[in-house]
Every structure is written in C-alpha cells, then in structure tokens.
Amino acid sequence: MSTRTTRKGAASAEEIKTGGGTIEAPAPAAPVGAEDKEKMRKMEEQDKAFFDKLPNPCVYCGPSVRGVARQFTVYHGGIPDALKEFIKEHRAAKGLLVSVERFAQVRTRLETPGTGEYILFRKVRAEL
C-alpha cells in the first residue's frame, strides 16, 4: 500500500492518498475573530462569578483526577488552582462542586441513574 501526500495550496486542505481511497485533513483553523473573543470574555466573566460564589466549605463530588482533586474532598477557603483549571476545561464539573449541606443528597443522587448529578459525573468521567 503506497502513501503519497500532495499540497494543493496554502489555503486548501491537505490530501492524503492511500491504496483504499483519499482522506482530506482539515484546513488550518481560522484566526480568532471578534465574535470568538466576545465569547471567551463572557466565559471568563461567568467563571469568575462562579468561583466568587462558591460555598465555603465546599465538596468536590466529581471523579478523582490525579494531581487535581480526589472525589469527596472538602475545601475550606477556596479551591486549588489546579481544580479551577480543570473546571474551566470540563464545564460539567461545576455542578459537582457543592456545599457541605447538600453533600449527602448529592452523593445519593450520584448513584441514582437519570439524575442530573449522575449524568454530570458520567460526562466528566467520559471526558477524561
């Protein structure tokens, strides 16, 4: 089976020909526009508001992630920067950071199929 790569031009996609057919690689990403910058700014504002409103103390009920957080860890006085970055990358994890008062209820709901917490937990775990 032979493999050959041809370039059509700087702006077009790269084509890879193999014995069974042709595969097109995606074109390079477009530069970030004003609309994308606005979305990023809004997301940063939402994140800041979320982190400012975190209950104190709070419990992380998401899956354990090495170097980030262990499941059911209680944080008093804020959460570590590694967990903040993780939550920014995995937005569903926001719903798994709860107050100590809600912890018992959320822990039960994590094991009940169909609940919001169950779905969020599975989504975050699938993204890992």
- Tokens at 51, concatenated: 């982190």
Residue 82 is predicted with a pLDDT of 93
In the predicted structure, residue 10 carries a pLDDT above the cut 50: no
Look at 31 and 43; give whichever has higher pLDDT: 43
Per-residue pLDDT tens digits for 66-95? 999 999 999 998 899 999 999 999 989 999
In the predicted structure, residue 53 carries a pLDDT above the cut 50: yes
Q: Global pTM?
A: 0.67
Q: What is the spatial distance between Cα 71 and Cα 83, in angstroms, rounded to a whole number?
A: 12
